[in-house]
Structure 1
């Protein structure tokens, strides 16, 4: 699997404790990046819907448009779930033309099923990437991410270490979310 990396995450919904979380981050010495606007266009293989995709079925393909301090960037990412939605193998490459990339994906038999818009700030603490995400139509979340891991690493051990860091920052497991933003939005969209 040349060029791929494993990504393991934990994610928690944040409500009134954002200020406490930011204070805890500051006290730990971590400094959040400037806000980055991200627009993710999510594609899956036809005729699948997003809810049909799981480990072993089909990967999710994402075109991510980012803008930070006036600078734009576009990434093409392929993610395949391993253990669950927050433990996956990811291949990523920078592309120069989002529209042409979307057209190529369509020609390859994929179709766009979701757009996720968010503002992200991130930092590194205790070896983990920490993201504070404000996701349109979902709210505020904190993610801790470990990436570049070997495929045989134990994700539960890694997640235990991430939760220890999160809990030191005031983010409890009772607010844990086990899905990606795309699938959370898909659930809302499918509710009557």
Structure 2
């Protein structure tokens, strides 16, 4: 599975457009704990391994290297896990390095097969993410649709943010 995702800093004007054009689904609190591999630096390989805690659930996610220069699109594998602390212990026992934390409140909007996230990230402010799920043959087409949508919301394609929230917080 490929997560096709474009992201940008959010203006008040764009936020109003999203709220007027898309269906609000829910608001969730998320804390992401990013781990680094003991033998290779995920920062250099552009990969990510995280545990995400939400209001009600916990997920373990691996993200591969980004696929293009404009977006954050990448291969992604995610499983729901029953116990955050036990999952964290397993990764620590396997020598994964101490996790770094990203906290955010996420508003989820949806229309057709597109998800729009308005993220308020602690220490960074508000961002918008436009996301579609694709397989390898659909990837380019869905990326084009995500970029078109973000342009329609008033965001210049040159202002897309390819860095993760963790990368932004570290800089």
When the two structures are superposed, what TM-score results if normalisation uses the length of structure 2?
Answer: 0.87
Aligned to 2:49: 61
In structure 2, distance between residues paired with 1:102 and 1:124 = 31
How far apart are residue 116 of structure 1 and its match? 0.6
Comparing 80-89 with 98-107, greater Cα deviation is found at 80-89
1:130 and 1:143 in contact (8 A); partners too: yes
Gap runs ≥5 in structure 2: none
When the two structures are superposed, what TM-score results if normalisation uses the length of structure 1?
Answer: 0.78
In structure 1, distance between residues paired with 2:80 and 2:112 = 27
Aligned to 2:135: 150
Aligned to 1:22: 15
Aligned counterpart for 1:35 among listed residues 15, 27, 37: 27
Aligned to 1:12: 8
1:126 and 1:165 in contact (8 A); partners too: no
How many residues get paired? 169
Gap runs ≥5 in structure 1: none
In structure 2, distance between residues paired with 1:161 and 1:21 = 17
RMSD: 2.0
Aligned to 2:60: 76
1:133 and 1:140 in contact (8 A); partners too: yes
How far apart are residue 48 of structure 1 and its match? 4.4
How far apart are residue 124 of structure 1 and its match? 1.5
What does the per-residue CA deviation read over 1:39-84, in whole Å, with 9 as the maximum and x for residues that have no partner?
0000121154553232xxxx421100001xxxx2111111112515
